[in-house]
Amino acid sequence: MAGLKLVCLECAQTNRVPEDRLAAGAKCGTCGAALVPDRPIEVDSATLAKAARTDDLPLIVDFWAPWCGPCRMMAPEFGKAAAGLQGRARLVKLNTQDHQDAGSKYAIRGIPTLVGFAGGRERARQSGAMPAAQIEAFAAQVR
């Protein structure tokens, strides 16, 4: 079966999306959520692990926490980058306060930290708040 494998960021079901539908509002066959959203989606540890392992599009994760000032400052920039990268990468947020197992699993030492996954492996990581243009540049090297 042709198409890109994408894990639904809402229900964690694996979907196959024809490449020509990436930008055309592809939806999860199970729950109907957008598979290629134009904004960051909050995920839990299990969904993150499955998407990082499975996705055929680069996955950019913002490890953050509500108490972290720089994280909150970067949030709108991360949102802009998600819109700019729609169809080329998916951007997700992992709250390390709610999901502390993920913070240790991925050896997150400071937040915010961006980690880029592609082809089932970590390809890049960078710590510190960044503007949208820099987030997009980071995502461009994740392949």
Q: Which residues are catalytic?
A: 68, 71
User: Is 28 within 8 Å of 41 (Cβ atoms)?
Assistant: no
Q: Considering beta carbons, is residue 33 or 75 the nearer one to Zn ion?
A: 33
Q: Considering beta carbons, is residue 12 or 139 the nearer one to Zn ion?
A: 12
User: Is 124 within 8 Å of 135 (Cβ atoms)?
Assistant: no
Q: Which residues bind Zn ion (CB under 5 A)?
A: 8, 10-11, 13, 28, 30-31, 33
Block residue for tokens 């503007």: 131
CB of 21 to Zn ion, least distance (A): 16
Mark 26-41 as b/e (b = at least 16 C-beta within 10 Å).
bebeeeeebbbbeebb
Q: Considering beta carbons, is residue 65 or 92 the nearer one to Zn ion?
A: 92
CB of 42 to Zn ion, least distance (A): 14
